[in-house]
Amino acid sequence: MRSKTMGPIAQMVAAAAVSALFAGCTIHPVGEREERKSAVAAGRPFERPLTTRELKPLPAFPSPEDLAQTAMQTSGDLEQRYWQWRAAIEQIPQDGTQSTTINVSLGSAITRGRIDSRNTTLTIGNDPMTDIKWPGKLDAAARAALENARAAGIRFRKAQFELRAKVLDACYDYAMNSELIELGEKSRGLLETAVMASEARNESGAVAPVDVLKARNELAQLKNEVANLRSQLPPERATINALLNRPAEAELAIAGKLPEPRPLAYDDAQLMSQAADRNPELMALLAEIHGKEDVARLATLQRVPDFNLAVSTDLAGIAQTLVGQATLPLLRYEAINAAISQASANVRGSEAGLRQAHDDLGARVVLDISTIHDADRQLELFRRTILPRAAEIVAVSRSSYETGSGSLLDLLDAQRSSISIERLVVSLRALRARQVADLEAITAHDLRFMPAR
């Protein structure tokens, strides 16, 4: 009756299988699959090279939001961030996989020119130059890589909102200059009328020649200001084209109007809470801290021995050998302790950096909110009180000048003051729009669509 115990070849195969299991296994931490799915979904615009992508055509007169959405699909900087995220994800299985390999060797003793199967040995084991790592070490390394990948993904989303803010800022600069040019052209017509009236009255002796010169000089300065504003439009258009990954000189019909001020969906306290809870940079720093905590755990696990396995048999099946080795880190205790302390210091340093980033972010949010509120206050004051009064002063000054009871200098001063106020209103609208875009980048939300709590 045959024995039910495994034969020598079967034993060898079993031992080799155990060795291969330890040598080739890969740890996949919880959350890796979800991170990959998120990356694939976010990277659909970048699946094909830019030259072959099917991009949604821009409207004839694109809004700032239209341009921002196009930039999301064409920006080289944003795409670079995305592929850095994908590369970080691929680091996870690399760090979670055994670094050793399977080593197969065949040796034979040659006796009098002959080879005997009993003296020929087949050995299977892991590469003796690279130990089999304890699975806990692979788990810690894979988790650290996962947290780094999460941080890269969060920074990709941060880059999306920062890109949107840059496009909106560039569009607001262009729109502000366009509105200032429109105001300048309107004032230019009024000044030209005043110059013609002063020249006519000078011929009749009703005004002094110096008043005519002042009027002409005022008109020349206004024309120069308008020309200067016009000269800024091509560089601003080139900036927008660069953000859209288009040639700098490409034609682009940009809307020349600033957006009307819109109320924020959240109050100040809610905005502060959103910034603290959803800010991409804070979330990325927190993920990096978790990764460094896993690195600290990995440093502690270096105290656990690694090992080697090998099994050999002669081809005749008479003798088999199973060899196991443990690599004890007895001479590395100081280096291991130093690595543990170093990892702990890195965690503490990152925690301090996160705390400072949180405080800096809070100050930035407060500045944005205060600027928006102050701009709202000033816009309300100018629109309801100061602008109507300035227009009335210009009308009264013009009437007085036309009837001869007022001077041309008074009319020019009144008109200059009215123009300055209108320019200030345009600048306040642009400033407010920029601060709103900055808040949206901080909270990673379009505030127009943020639901009330």
CA distance 273 to 278: 8
- Predicted model pTM: 0.82
Decide which of 410 and 427 is more confident.
427
> Which whole number is the average pLDDT over 293-322?
88
pLDDT computed for residue 23 by the predictor: 47
b/e 49-64 (16+ beta carbons within 10 angstroms → b): eeeeeeeeebeeebeb
Helix ranges (H only) for 249-332 are 268-278, 280-301
CA distance 409 to 423: 21
- Please report the sign of the dihedral spanned by the C-alpha atoms of residue 357, residue 360, residue 366, residue 371: negative
pLDDT at 47 over 80: yes
Confidence at 17, pLDDT banded by 50, 70, 90:
low
> Which whole number is the average pLDDT over 333-353?
96
Decide which of 20 and 416 is more confident.
416
pLDDT computed for residue 7 by the predictor: 52
CA distance 53 to 198: 62
Helix ranges (H only) for 302-383 are 333-381
> Which whole number is the average pLDDT over 1-15?
47
Decide which of 147 and 418 is more confident.
147
Q: Crossing angle of helices 135-203/64-74, nearest 10°?
A: 140
CA distance 289 to 358: 14
> Which whole number is the average pLDDT over 20-48?
85
pLDDT in tens, 200-235: 777 766 667 777 787 788 888 888 989 999 999 999
pLDDT computed for residue 21 by the predictor: 52
> Which whole number is the average pLDDT over 107-128?
80
Q: Could you give the dihedral angle defined by the CA atoms of residues 65, 161, 439 and 377, in that order, rounded to the nearest 10 degrees?
A: -20
pLDDT computed for residue 1 by the predictor: 36
Give the three-class secondary structure for 76.
helix
pLDDT in tens, 53-72: 888 888 888 888 899 999 99
Q: Which residues pair with 102 in a beta bridge?
A: 126
Q: For a pLDDT cut of 90, what percent of the chain falls above it? A: 49
Q: What is the residue extent of each domain of the chain?
A: 8-449
pLDDT computed for residue 6 by the predictor: 44
Average pLDDT over all residues of the chain: 86
Which residues, other chains included, contact 60 with Cβ-Cβ below 8 Å and sequence gap of 6+? Answer: 253
- Please report the sign of the dihedral spanned by the C-alpha atoms of residue 262, residue 267, residue 272, residue 278: negative
> Which whole number is the average pLDDT over 382-392?
92
Confidence at 249, pLDDT banded by 50, 70, 90:
confident
> Which whole number is the average pLDDT over 370-389?
94
pLDDT computed for residue 4 by the predictor: 43
Q: For a pLDDT cut of 70, what percent of the chain falls above it? A: 91
CA distance 436 to 168: 10
> Which whole number is the average pLDDT over 164-170?
94
pLDDT computed for residue 14 by the predictor: 52
Separate counts of helices (H) and strands (E) for the chain: 11, 4
Maximal C-alpha separation, the chain: 141
Amino acid at 75: S
CATH 1.20.1600.10 fits 8-449, yes or no: yes
